[in-house]
Amino acid sequence: MKRSQHLLAVAGLALAVWAMSYGFYYAVWIEHQTLDHIGGSLAGAFQHAALRETAASHASLDDYARAKYVYTREVDAHSHWIGLAMILMVLAALWDRLSFGEGVRGMLALVLIAGAYGFPLGVLIQNYVGSGVGQGIAVAASGLMIVAFGLVAVGFARER
Amino acid sequence: MGGDALRAGPPLHGVMVTASGTSNGARAAAAFPRPGARRLLVLGGLALFLGGTILGDVFAIFILHPNADRIGQALAAATAAVRQHRAEDAGQSFAAIGGFLENRGTKVDAHSHMIGFGYLAMLLAILYPWVRLSETTSRRLAAMLITGGVVLPVGVFAIHYVGLAYSPLESIGWASIVADAAGLLVVIACAGFLAGLWRQWRSGETPAEDALLRERSWAGRVLMAGGTLLILAGFLHGAWYAGVDLYAQEKQERDLLGAMADSAALDPGPGVIPERAGTALNAYGMLQADHAVKIAAHSHMIEFGLIGLLAGFFQPFVFLSEAWKRRWAVVLLLGSVTLPVAVLLELRYGLLAGGFADAGGALVITALAGMLAGVLRFTGQLDAASEPVGAGGRA
């Protein structure tokens, strides 16, 4: 078993454990309150409109949009971390079949790991440091993942 | 285990365990012992995936569309209540929408978590030779993972029905508490396997060759190639969706809801729902549908790609003739392509495409059930022939 292969397996399972721990924490301490907030602000927007309180209605709608934006990214980070963790693990099992030398395999493993950890992180930090920085990280990391995965597919296709 | 005789299927009787324990069958029995962790992970994982897929298909056919209609009707009622100055009724309509969304969300979560835990179990079965733990510890961890993998989706499914009845907490009911505890079991099990993987890495020892990692049959190669392409397609589709649609749709959703509320409150005219509000309501429904089909297509491409890859690994354990193994591989990939493509076409072709999507899901379920039957036949043959050797397994 090569070093890059073991690295992928350990990094993949560690990412899965991290993603599930994050999901557990989120489900217990954040999700229910967030969903109540989203539902409450949307209902509030229409109730204010019914009372012809336009400014308050708009404020509630903005609150709803912001809460839903944050919620979407929190859930997306969890689901993408776990999904990418599983892809790292399955690639680890297939790694021997890649028709590249250990140097290229090691580089590909590092790129895949950086993408798998970085893409959901980029999605999540859009909630905290502004969408531009987060989007930049997410786009760069997903680009790395796609290129590396494409190369992996080529490596499998060239299997001897 | 493995070898051509095993992969061929029926001649298995002839190569089973011998007294010397040196045949392919002996290696098979050692790699896949009767009460062993690996067998538990493979069978539990396949069963979880199958259960999750069946739940998803039933949900899509019987709940998804009627639920979407009810949400649309409640939103229209809320808009009409705004028009008629009935703030309390508007609030009640949104309470109803919250219930419909919870009904939908918990079923989607139960479906996706069951499938996700199925993947995890199967992946751990594949990585098992690299995990340096005793068989007893591995078996306990595997049992913990499968138990958590079953209980969490059941708990999530029950959230909508149990609600906050008898709950000691303000916003979390008993079903959520059970689901969260089950999630913790899965986390602990995976952390245990991670520790085993780390110990193996630190030891520097090379694990024994393993049949799952050497699979080269036609069915295995086709499943792995098809799975890789599906995952790549899912990545590209997701990137395209995030770049082109995601942010625009989020802004559009806020604008449409604002137009509904503003128009109902301020537009002149006699209607229960003014024309501008009605147009916004219809556009909102289409937006939600567009969002749902794109997310579903993206996630199903990647999920089915993963199951294709995993099923490719398990071909040595599928005790069927080569012809049937090939048929199930082709059926699995056909269903895996049909479902996401048909889901994407649902907005244009409606129920016709929806029917094709459901049929695609049914193809995947049928193929996996066929493979699971093959794995069960394989384990039955192993058990019947390996009695003198015993459960064996790892130290």
Residue B203: per-residue pLDDT: 85
Q: Which residues of B touch A68 (CB under 8 A)?
A: 250, 253
Q: Do domains B34-210 and B213-383 have the same CATH topology?
A: yes
- Taking contacts as CB-CB distances below 8 angstroms, the residues of chain A near B120 are 16, 86
What are B251-309's pLDDT values in tens digits? Answer: 999 999 999 999 999 888 777 889 999 999 999 999 999 999 999 999 999 999 999 98
User: Binning pLDDT at 50, 70 and 90, where does residue B58 land?
Assistant: confident
Q: Is B323 on the interface with A (CB under 8 A)?
A: no
pLDDT of residue B393: 37
**What torsion do the CA atoms of B1, A149, A113, B129 make, to the nearest 10 degrees?**
0
Q: How many CB atoms lie within 10 A of CB B343?
A: 27
Inter-chain touch A61–B258, beta carbons under 8 Å: yes
The torsion defined by the Cα of A141, A147, A149 and A155, in degrees rounded to 10, comes to -150
Is CATH 1.10.1220 the right assignment for the domain spanning B34-210? no
Task: Quote ipTM for the complex.
Answer: 0.87
Separation of alpha carbons A94 and B347, rounded Å: 38
Smallest CA-to-CA distance from A83 within B151, B329, B340, B307 is with B307
Record the tokens describing residue B384, joined without a space. 């019947």
- List C-alpha distances in Å: B125 to A14, B213, B284, B356, B395: 16, 11, 45, 33, 17
What's the distance, Cα to Cα, between the start and end of chain A in Å?
18
Residue A96 pLDDT class (50, 70, 90 cuts): confident
Tokens (6 digits) for A147: 């290129």
pLDDT in tens, A47-81: 999 999 999 999 999 999 999 999 999 999 999 99
Lowest mean pLDDT among B27-36, B64-73, B226-235, B360-369: B27-36
How many angstroms separate the CA of residue A108 from the nearest CA in chain B? 16
In whole numbers, what is the pLDDT of chain A averaged over residues? 92
pLDDT on residue B391:
38
The secondary structure of residue A30, as a DSSP letter, is I
Chain A residues 75-104 within an 8 A CB cutoff of chain B: 79, 82-83, 86-87, 89-90, 92-94, 96
Q: Which amino acid, one-letter code, is at B254?
A: R
Residues 6+ apart with CB under 8 A from B202: none
Cα B288 to Cα A152: distance, rounded to the nearest angstrom: 35
CA A83, CA A12: separation in Å to the nearest integer? 10
Is the domain B213-383 a CATH 1.10.10 member? no
Question: What pLDDT is recorded for position B28?
Answer: 57
d(CA B237, CA B243): 10
- The residue ranges of every structural domain in chain A are 3-157
Q: To which residue do tokens 């929408």 refer?
A: B97
The domains of chain B are located at: 34-210, 213-383
Q: With cut-offs at 50, 70 and 90, classify the pLDDT of residue B42.
A: confident
Tokens matching residue B103: 């009904």
Query: Is B171 a residue whose pLDDT tops 80?
Result: no
pLDDT of residue B88: 94
Q: How would you label B194-212 residue by residue, b for 16+ Cβ within 10 Å and e otherwise?
A: bbbbbebbeeeeeeeebbb
- pLDDT tens-digit profile of B203-232? 877 776 676 667 678 898 889 889 989 999
Task: Please indicate whether, in this complex, the C-beta atoms of A93 and B95 are within 8 angstroms of each other.
Answer: no
**Does residue A124 register a pLDDT over 70?**
yes
Q: What is the pLDDT of residue B13?
A: 29
The yes-or-no verdict on residue A1 having pLDDT over 80 is no
Residues A117-129 have a mean pLDDT of: 94
Q: Has residue B7 got a pLDDT over 70?
A: no
Q: Closest Cα of chain B to A102: distance in Å?
A: 17
From the list B379, B308, B331, B387, the residue with the least C-alpha distance to B42 is: B379
How far apart (Å, rounded) are the C-alpha atoms in residues B97 and B73? Answer: 9
Q: Scan for tokens 């049929």, then name that residue.
A: B359
Among the partner residues B123, B171, B183, nearest to A90 by beta-carbon distance: B123
Residue with tokens 């005219």: B269
- In terms of pTM, does the model score above 0.90? no
Check CB contact of B86 with chain A, cutoff 8 Å.
Answer: yes
> Within a 10 A sphere around the Cβ of B387, how many other Cβ atoms?
10
From the list B189, B176, B106, the residue with the least C-alpha distance to B146 is B189
- Name every residue whose Cβ is closer than 8 Å to that of residue B192 and which is 6 or more positions away in sequence: B133, B137, B141, B144
Q: Is A130 in CB contact (< 8 Å) with chain B? A: no
* Distance, CA of B91 to CA of B39 (rounded, Å): 52
Residues 38-67 of B with CB under 8 A from A: none
List, for residues A130-151, the tens digit of each pLDDT value: 778 999 999 999 999 999 988 9
Do A57 and B261 lie within an 8 Å CB cutoff? Answer: yes
Write out chain B residues lying below 8 Å of A51, CB-based.
85, 87
| Nearest CA among A117, A125, A135 for reference residue A80 | A117
Average pLDDT estimate for B108-128: 93
